[in-house]
Structure 1
Amino acid sequence: MGEVVRRATVADAGELVRLRAVMLAAMAGHEPVGDDWRRAAARTLRTRLAGPDPTLVAFVVERSDRPGSLAACAVGAVEFRLGGPDNPSGATGYVFNVATDPAHRRRGYSRACVTAVLDWYRDRGIRTVDLRASRQGEPLYESLGFVRTADPAMRLRLPPPE
């Protein structure tokens, strides 16, 4: 791989949102609708990537044919929970938004970005890392050491306040 993985900056927010749309389209089978979510995601990225001690980080590979455009990315967040026997600090990494532009797939870019996020966690002493994998992504994550857990994921969507 001739491309270099680098840490994302605030200037990458728009491209990170574009790649998020690529990922969401691949998972849902259709393009995501609306722009409100894009504006909110870009705002979140600009704020959190600029922080002095971020709890959100992204690593990217730029497209060599179009400076300023991204070929791939992976985002990681740090969540803090109460510690337990398997994770005394309670700090847990969460990998998400792993996406590669369709024209740049099968070149190892997602692997390089996820590996950079995992290294970032290791440097901070974070020992537990979670993610949710699509069927297409499972082989990559398994090759990096991720295993299925017995914990079922559940979700509740609360209505907005009146």
Structure 2
Amino acid sequence: MVHKAKLSEIDEIIELKLSMFRESGYMDLLADDAKQRIRQKYIHLYQNDEAAHFIVKDGDKIMACCGGFIKSDIPYCFFKQPFYGFIGDVYTVPRERTRGLATELTKATIAWLKSKGVRTIRLLASEQGKPIYQKMGFVNTDEMALALQ
């Protein structure tokens, strides 16, 4: 049921990502060329084995996805373990929700990140997702944000 996405499936994954942004109300924050930039970035990350998506399909259509990304931004790049994992692009098409697909995909993504030597995983959780991630062992951190207007 769950399998690792191929590079040829990246365009469909990007469409699901854009659906997630639409549903979250963040579409207006994206650059006009966001779709092309996401595609270029994902291709680069896939080719360098720094990203993978796990998907569930119904026939030839992706119903749910979850992405794992190896990140090494500041300040983590200065640590003994200079990288961490990030989970994103967790999305299930509306008619397939509440079946546990996102949980199953997240577990597969965690296993992939662990196989890459990742010891810490971060993510941004929606209010609906927080209880699911907490059941999986994720905890709130001390990170804070300031939105500048």
TM superposition score category, shorter chain reference: 0.7 to 0.9
Instruction: Determine the C-alpha separation between the residues in 2 that align with 1:73 and 1:24.
Output: 14
Residue matched to 2:95? 103
Matched residue, 2:36: 39
> Given that residues 21 and 32 in structure 1 are in contact (C-alpha distance below 8 angstroms), is that contact kept between their aligned partners in structure 2?
no
Match of 1:14 in 2: 11
Following superposition, the deviation at residue 136 of structure 1 comes to 1.3
Q: 8 Å contact 1:79–1:93 — kept in the other structure?
A: yes
129, 138, 148: which one aligns with 1:146: 138
Q: Answer yes or no: is 1:54 the counterpart of 2:46.
A: no
Q: Across the two proteins, how many residue pairs are aligned to each other?
A: 144
Q: How far apart, in 2, do the equivalents of 1:78 and 1:47 lie?
A: 12
After superposing the two structures, state which structure 1 stretch, 11-20 or 147-156, moved more: 147-156
d(CA) in 2 for partners of 1:89, 1:33 = 31
Map residues 88-99 of structure 1 onto 2, 5 A cutoff: 88-99=80-91
Deviation at 1:43? 2.7
List structure 1 runs of 4+ shifted beyond 3 angstroms: 29-35, 153-156
Identity value in percent: 26
Q: 1:55 to 1:29 in 2, by over 3 A?
A: closer
Alignment gaps of 5+ in structure 1: 157-162
When the two chains are superposed, the root-mean-square deviation of aligned CA atoms in Å is 2.3
Shift of 1:71: 0.5
2:73 equivalent to 1:78: no
2:116 matched residue in structure 1: 124
1:159 matched residue in structure 2: none
CA displacement at 1:124 relative to structure 2 = 2.1
Between 12-21 and 38-47, the greater mean CA deviation after superposition: 38-47
**Runs of 5+ consecutive residues of structure 2 not aligned to the other structure:** none
C-alpha separation in 1, matches of 2:114 and 2:15: 28
Q: Deviations 1:99-139 (Å, cap 9, x if unpaired)?
A: 01112111111111111110011112211000111111111
Q: Is the 8 A contact 1:56 1:77 kept in 2?
A: yes
Please state whether the residue corresponding to 2:127 is helix, strand or coil: coil
- Counterpart CA distance in 2 for 1:72 and 1:15 is 11
CA contact (8 A) 1:60 1:70 kept: yes
Alpha-carbon distance between aligned partners in 2 of 1:102 and 1:21, rounded to the nearest angstrom: 14
Q: Is the 8 A contact 2:18 2:27 kept in 1?
A: no
CA contact (8 A) 2:83 2:118 kept: yes
What TM-score, normalized to structure 1?
0.79
**Does the residue aligned with 2:78 lie in a helix, a strand or coil?**
coil
Three-state SS of the structure 2 residue aligned to 1:152 is coil
**Would you tell me which structure has more helix in proportion to its own residues?**
2
Counterparts of 1:155 and 1:11, CA distance in 2: 37
The whole-number CA distance in structure 2 between the counterparts of 1:112 and 1:146 is 15
